[in-house]
Amino acid sequence: MLKRFAPLVPLALTLVLAACAGHTPQPRIDAPAQPVSAQPAADLDEAAIGDFTDDKAYKLPQLADSILSHGLSLVGTRYRYGGSSVKSGFDCSGFIGYLFKEELGMQLPRSTREMINIDAPLVEREELEPGDLVFFSTNGRGRVSHAGIYLGDDQFIHSSSSRSGGVRVDSLEDRYWNRTFIEAKRALALAPSEQLARHP
């Protein structure tokens, strides 16, 4: 079982820096232009991902591990507006919804505008934990238009755009994402009780 997802970036950069050099993201409704910061190889396994924040109390790490390990295995899956499957490709909310449904049986709203309004605890930026949903206003006017899942160590995984490689990992510290970040929610707190029992 994975424990946490921290020292991800240096390892990912070592593995895929050359492959990422040719990608240049272009803006879409939920996929802003942004230089590649880090894209872990799709075949990262449990041994390749280290521990982090063991000193912090967090009650849902196993649920996060399940979602994020599956998400990382999909890095490079193509972007498709309105897509919600591996076969078709994903848009940002389709990617999140797919992982939560496949791993936890949770049905999240289909659009980012509905997803940001779920009745889950709000999380302060400095209190983010793996599995938290992060929301962005990439189109201006403070309206949500993009979302991802927090990995840890200021990294998040999302389906960005076709020109930026689809599913990928980026940093909240990148100027663009830092500027467009709106809020985060702990959707895992809504996980069915049977899922908690399955992931002791």
- Express each pLDDT in 97-147 by its tens digit: 999 999 999 999 999 999 999 999 999 999 999 999 999 999 888 899 999
Q: Which residue has the higher pLDDT, 199 or 190?
A: 190
Domain ranges across the chain: 8-16+38-198
What is the structure's pLDDT at 154? Answer: 97
Catalytic residues: 92, 146, 158
Give the per-residue pLDDT at 58. Answer: 52
Q: What is the largest CA-CA distance in the chain?
A: 44
Strand 84-85 to 89-90 pairing: antiparallel
Domain spanning 8-16+38-198, CATH class: alpha beta
Residue 70: what pLDDT? 98
Strands across the sheet containing 133-136? 122-123, 181-185, 133-136, 146-152, 155-159, 167-171
| Tens digit of each residue's pLDDT (9 = 90 or more) over 24-66 | 333 333 444 343 344 444 444 443 334 433 433 455 778 899 9
Kindly report the pTM of this predicted structure.
0.71
**What confidence tier does 11 reach under pLDDT thresholds 50, 70, 90?**
very low
Please give the share of the chain, as a percent, with pLDDT higher than 70.
66
